[in-house]
Amino acid sequence: MTTDPRGGGPVPDRDWDRAVGLVSSADEVALACHISPDADALGSMLAVGMALRAGGKRVTASFGERRFRVPRLLCFLPGQDLLVEPGAYPASPELMMTFDVPIADRLGVLSGNADKARELIVVDHHASNTGFGTLNLVDPGAAATAVLAEDLLDRLGLPIDREIATCLYAGLVTDTGSFKHSSTTPEAHAMAARLLATGLNPEEIARELWDRSPFAYLKVLGAVLDRVVLEPAAGRGLVWTFVTRADRASYGLPYDEVEGIIDVVRRTDEADVAVVLKEDDDGAWQVSTRSKGEVDVARVCAALGGGGHAKAAGFTSHLPVEQTMARFRALL
Ligand code: 5GP
Ligand code: MN
């Protein structure tokens, strides 16, 4: 495994051994991933959940949103019969495991359950992980949390079938940006090869994740690109735009569907930093930020109460768009 230049490094064998001991001796395991789950968070959790269930454990899985709903984009992931609403989640689990969660806040309403868990195994690859578990399997050098999930299943001796592989592959392909990001190591491709050998359908996974949307998406995208701004911002180039609730309402487009707009905006040659502010159904602004490498957007977003990775991070704002952007600019 690679050593991460930001520090951290691979998970020590003694921690893996402890994890294997804890999981092997548990009858019941409660799994959680971060709120607004992406494919890596939900996929890693469901993969481990399906494998543990096949291995004879009682498994519950969830994420801590009051209005509990799997994003449309991720409805194709197998294993969703493991999911329970946060209200039905064990209040004080014997063994709880979290996936892709860097900080307890991102557990949403399940953070109380994590506080009361007897053992809490944190499986994650964010460099910013605070180590909030009783055992932390955190490797910032891993391309995705799915890499750590696969490693754990191997160490537990649990087989990875086509459905489990589909969940892991969705995480890997998402977090490597379809094998485009610098996290695309020989190890990442070797993992993809192992997963593909189970017979999963990469074409279908890619179409579900990126290559489909309702027609309304094109109309909203048109409106949003029409108001995009390019500005110098500390000589680095900042490109940004925003999507209001009203934009979505006028075409009947759900919030989930606008997640991909940042990938259109960030391609701008003249900008190192890209920002898309998305107004959710509660009127809060979910801000997606991307950097080409000069700026560590995780640090900027952390200063604004959010987090993420150096090149892809986010935060939530309750201020109007212009005020949010003024605060963001000031930190660049
Ligand atoms: P995205 O823009 O795709 O929603 O998120 C990019 C990255 O930033 C992901 O790693 C995601 O977990 C992280 N991120 C997005 N929003 C927030 C937030 O409000 N708080 C924290 N801590 N991280 C966030
Ligand atoms: Mn991830």
Q: For residue 119, give the nearest of 86, 90, 80 by alpha carbon.
A: 90
pLDDT digits (tens, 9 = 90+) for 103-149: 999 999 999 999 999 999 999 999 999 999 999 999 999 999 999 99
Q: Is 161 exposed, middle or buried (0-12, 13-18, 19+ CB in 10 A)?
A: middle
Instruction: Say if ligand 1 is within 6 A of residue 308 CB.
Output: yes
Which element (helix H / strand E) includes 137?
Answer: strand 135-138
125 in Cβ contact with 138 (< 8 Å): yes
pLDDT value for 2: 35
Closest Cα to atom 17 of ligand 1: 314
Instruction: For the chain of 332 residues, list the mean pLDDT of each consecutive stretch of 10.
Output: 50 98 98 97 99 98 96 96 98 98 97 98 96 98 98 98 98 96 95 98 97 96 98 88 98 94 97 98 97 95 95 97 97 93
Q: Which residues pair with 317 in a beta bridge?
A: 285
* Class of 215-331 in CATH: alpha beta
Instruction: Say if ligand 1 is within 6 A of residue 316 CB.
Output: yes
Q: Whose atoms come closest to the Cα of 144: which ligand?
A: 2
What's the pTM? 0.93
46 in Cβ contact with 76 (< 8 Å): no
Closest Cα to atom 20 of ligand 1: 306
Q: For residue 158, give the nearest of 83, 61, 79, 47 by alpha carbon.
A: 47
Q: For residue 110, give the nearest of 82, 83, 86, 136 by alpha carbon.
A: 86
What are the residue ranges of helices labelled H in the chain? 13-25, 39-54, 111-116, 145-156, 162-175, 186-196, 202-209, 215-226, 245-251, 261-265, 297-303, 321-331
Which residue's entry shows tokens 């578990």? 133
Distance separating alpha carbons of residues 197 and 1, to the nearest angstrom: 22
Report helix, strand or coil for 297: helix
Topology of the domain covering 13-209: inorganic pyrophosphatase (n-terminal core) (3.90.1640)
Residue 145: count of CB within 10 angstroms of its CB: 33
Q: How far, in Å, is the centroid of ligand 1 from the Cα of 34?
A: 10
pLDDT value for 8: 62
pLDDT value for 9: 77
φ/ψ bin of 66: left (φ > 0), alpha (ψ from -120 to 50), beta (otherwise): alpha
Q: Where are the domains of the chain?
A: 13-209, 215-331
pLDDT value for 112: 98
- Of 103, 286, 289, best ligand 1 pocket probe by most atoms within 8 Å of the beta carbon: 286
Closest Cα to atom 19 of ligand 1: 315
Q: For residue 31, give the nearest of 72, 77, 74, 79 by alpha carbon.
A: 79
Q: Which residues surround ligand 2, an ion (CB under 5 A)?
A: 40, 100, 145, 175
- Of 264, 301, 324, best ligand 1 pocket probe by most atoms within 8 Å of the beta carbon: 301
